[in-house]
Amino acid sequence: MKKITIAIDGYSSTGKSTVAKQIADYLGYVYVDTGAMYRAVALYAMQHNIISKTHFDKEKLIESLKSIDLKFKKEAAWNKAHIFLNGKNVENEIRNLEVSEFVSPIATIHEVRVKLVAQQQEMGLEKAVAMDGRDIGTVVFPKAELKIFMNASAEKRAERRYKELLERGDKVAYDDVLKNIQERDYMDTNREDSPLRKAVDAIEIDNSNMNLEDQFHMVLQLAKDRIAGRV
């Protein structure tokens, strides 16, 4: 059967990773969460006094990139691959609101993007991959057979994210989550290097009023059409 590359981009908390993972599992493809990679670099920067609320040492970050090793590993008991930063599993730690606050400035740095994009392209060399992020259809895999661009209202996305954080046991306020989403939207779409854009050939899905099952079937049908060469 023909193997394709599936690129899923969109705003923060639009459920990109949920649908990318569902599709990858169904098709037996590899799922890659590229946001986790940017988050792990942000965590490294926080831990090494490179970024804080009051300073951001860009030169030190660029210099440190050679000391940052990112790997995805999967164990049978986990439902998805976890990200390891220099050998340590940081899958849980990278999801907190503090990392979310620092990740967008980290993702503006050209050298960071060059390093992560190269690693992402390598992971997709053999196709059969569903990758989610902000620049997958525009920069990482501009020739992907299927490109999806996901969107939903900021309020709907903040509601979903707020629930997720509460379920993890994080004590957060809804207003802070909404503010973080709005700030990341602004930074992700306005940065100079690889800003979040819908690729011209991407299919846009607004899932503000769509349930997960309908969304999954919609994307799966689009993937099946491309695998079968119907599109």
For ligand DC, the closer CB: 140 or 222: 140
DSSP conformational letter for 202: P
Contacts of 138 (CB under 8 A, 6+ apart): 9, 194, 197, 199
Q: Which residue has the tokens 């590229």?
A: 34
* Residue 94: CB minimum distance to ligand DC, A: 8
What are the residues binding ligand DC (CB under 6 A)?
12, 34-35, 38-39, 103-104, 107, 133-135, 184, 188
* Residue 74: CB minimum distance to ligand DC, A: 18
For ligand DC, the closer CB: 170 or 224: 170
For ligand DC, the closer CB: 11 or 29: 11
- Are the CB atoms for 161 and 35 separated by under 8 Å? no
> Amino acid identity of 25?
D
- Burial degree of 78 (CB within 10 A; 0-12, 13-18, 19+): exposed
* Residue 148: CB minimum distance to ligand DC, A: 14
* Residue 30: CB minimum distance to ligand DC, A: 16
Contacts of 193 (CB under 8 A, 6+ apart): 108, 109, 110, 113
* Residue 134: CB minimum distance to ligand DC, A: 4
For ligand DC, the closer CB: 98 or 224: 98
C-alpha distances in Å from residue 199, one per residue of 42, 109, 122, 151: 26, 21, 21, 13
For residues 212 and 202, give the distance between their C-alpha atoms in angstroms, rounded to a whole number.
Answer: 20
For ligand DC, the closer CB: 13 or 230: 13
